[in-house]
Structure 1
Amino acid sequence: MAKKKSKRKTLLMVSPDDISPNPHNPRLIFDPEDLRELRNSIDKVGILVPITIFENKRKYPKTKYSLLDGERRWRCANNLKLKKIPANVVDEPGDVTQNILFMFNIHHYRKEWALFPTALKLEVLMKKLKTDSESTLANFTGVSRSMIRRCKALLWFPETYRNILMDREGKISTDFFIEIYPIAYRLSQENEYLYPEKIKTFIDICMNKFSENIVSDVKEFRELRKCMAYYEDQNNLNRFKLRINKFIKTKHTGLEVFAVPEIEADRKRKNIIKYISYLNENLKTINPNLVSDVYFAEQLKELRNSLDILIENID
């Protein structure tokens, strides 16, 4: 049996001008401050960790090599006008899928990429692998399932919002879209807000109200989720949609329109039920002979009195 041929890996000193960036690098956004710090470090001590490149067989750009790993170091070298930098030359990845997976696995233990560029590369992988399974994607890429879930939420939004998601300097961040996703997704199943065109009205209004500080924090959109969950439990989503319509049509209306007193009362009721269930289970396992604490007995009596009063009022 023939031995499996080992992958080529040659260390060379290469001109940065002979290298073009990897078109499949999930890191599409580079933090200027991080680059400045790295550039200062390279200016003092040079590039200590070689970049990784492979021979470029593409027609464009016509460079000798393509980057596989080390774009930040390569950018800094260009900025510093370094003539030669250390580079490991390896075999070209077999296809786009291997290229992207290689990038994901290299960066698994490094600084986290911006979320939306990561989502865009996951989108390519999902098409190539013909699966959107979180566990499968996590196994292939090393990315956590929770991060994959967030990426998939961002990819759900209509194409028109992708430029906004890529704008790192803008006020509308990925966190904004993550927060409104559960509401937008549920509303998009209703005739008035069908995906992709009709749901844009709701998304745009949320963006405008957030940009104008009518909603000051993206986490405040969770009030909509609480309100929606309450009315869904009541099998009365139409009541929620009435509030959504008021939120959309009235320019200066904020999230106060979703402040329903019954929601807080319902939350307290559910919590009390949970605590009572927990208490019942634990009381059954207590051996009275082992509990001689006077304070414990007094607390039980006080609890019994409170329960007697509550049950009497219910009856």
Structure 2
Amino acid sequence: MTNLSSIIEYDKKVQDINIEQLITNEFNPRARYNEEEEEELIDSILSKGILNPIIVYYDKQRDKYIILDGERRYRACKKINIKTVPARVLLKEPDLLESLSLMFHIHNVREEWTEFAISMTIRRIVDEMGKNIQNLNSSDMRELSTMTSLSTYKINKYLKFQDYPDSVIQKFLEYEIGPSNEKPDPDILLEMHKPIKDIGQLMPELLKNHNIGEIIDICIDKKDKGVIRNNKEFRLINKTLNAAKDGQIPIDQVKNQIERFFNDINFSPEDLYQSTSQNFYKYQSVLKTSKSLSQLLIDFDFNSLDYESKRNLESELEKLLIKIRSL
């Protein structure tokens, strides 16, 4: 097991390293950098200098310093032709697994990585551990938790990205390095993870007609066109499938409407929910509220109210009775 405390030891003196001796870390999953933030950083460097040294280690084989932390500062310095960069140098050259773990702690603790980037880094760590990401046992999860400082709950969440076919993962990796205005939200993969799994169990023929990559593309298109306004709306698909799994609504009805969701670009998760399970969930809510009201009335001291309060309560209860009788 990697012990980070044994490798996070620096040369006491901050070194000014020639920028030509620095190279970026190929295992940094943060493939895109915000241009506006980069310009702000350049302005700061020009006016105040580099306030925080970058963190590097010396790679003997390549005779270069590999950046563990500070790639944005390095890129900004290159843009404005700064020749040397202040750096803190690790005393020990980490192996690949140690390097991945170090980068994970440095960047993820500061919330600089997206959830998709975190997932891809976990995948690299698992590969370097010589484990199968689809077959991790409790001991593997504890080791991952130690190496990343993440709870097993969060690790399981990030591993959901890795349940998708390689073609889907590769597509999102390509999105990461493409123009920012063309980048879909990888959280779509998290939101659709359980619905796709449930569809495979309840109506597997749908996944024969629409492969997983196609389903994700459909969701991306619907979000791009504003048919899906935010990621929370995907949860209405999940609610509908849960009601079907519990036998509360006919599976065939849900199947037909999900098929429509796949085929009709303008058919939203809300439309799906309203046409299938909304009435069931309203029934559940009314039933729960009715039981709560009944319990409240049992223990309620009506005679303790003043005249006006009694009249207001009687009026509201009478309205409720009229509504119930009209059903």
Q: Same fold (TM over 0.5)?
A: yes
Q: Which residue of 2 aligns with 1:110?
A: 110
| Distance (Å, rounded) in 2 between the aligned partners of 1:7 and 1:281 | 64
Quote the offset at 1:48 in angstroms.
Answer: 1.2
Tell me the equivalent position of 1:86: 86
Distance in 2 (alpha carbons) for counterparts of 1:48 and 1:272: 60
Which residue in the other structure is 1:227 paired with? 240
Structure 1 gaps of 5+ residues are: none
Corresponding residue for residue 184 of structure 1 = 196
The residue type equivalent to 1:266 in the other structure is: F
Aligned CA distance change for structure 1 residues 298 and 30 (closer, same or farther; 3 Å): same
TM-score, normalising length from structure 2?
0.74
Choose from 267, 271, 277 the match for 2:281.
Answer: 267
Counterpart of 2:74, as a letter, is W
Question: What is the aligned length?
Answer: 304
The AA in structure 1 aligned to 2:245 is E
The answer to whether residue 169 in structure 2 is matched with residue 157 in structure 1 is no
Cα distance change on mapping 1:185 and 1:29 into 2, 3 Å: farther
**What is the aligned partner in structure 1 of residue 11 from structure 2?**
9
Find the residue that maps to 2:82 and give its secondary structure.
coil
The alpha-carbon deviation at position 121 of structure 1 amounts to 0.5
Equivalent residues in 2 for 1:204-223 (5 A)?
A: 204-211=217-224, 213=225, 215-219=227-231, 220-223=233-236
Report if the CA contact (8 A) 1:164-1:172 is conserved. Answer: no
In the TM superposition, residue 173 of structure 1 has moved relative to its aligned partner by 2.0
Q: Give the partner amino acid of 1:37.
A: E
SS in 2 for 1:188: helix
Structure 1 residues 30 and 171: alpha-carbon distance in aligned structure 2, compared to 1, 3 A threshold:
closer
For 2:3, the equivalent position in structure 1 comes to: none
Let me know the Cα RMSD of the aligned residues.
Answer: 3.8
Kindly, what percent of the aligned residue pairs are identical?
25
Residue in 1 aligned with 2:213? Answer: 200
Scaled by the length of structure 1, the TM-score of the pair is 0.76
**1:120 aligned to 2:120?**
yes
1:45 deviation in Å? 1.7
Distance 2:59 2:318 in 1: 81
Q: Which amino acid aligns with 1:161?
A: V
Shift of 1:257: 5.9
- The 3 A distance-change label for structure 1 pair 198 and 306 is same
Give 2:81's aligned amino acid: K
Stretches of structure 2 lacking an aligned partner (at least 5 in a row)? 1-5
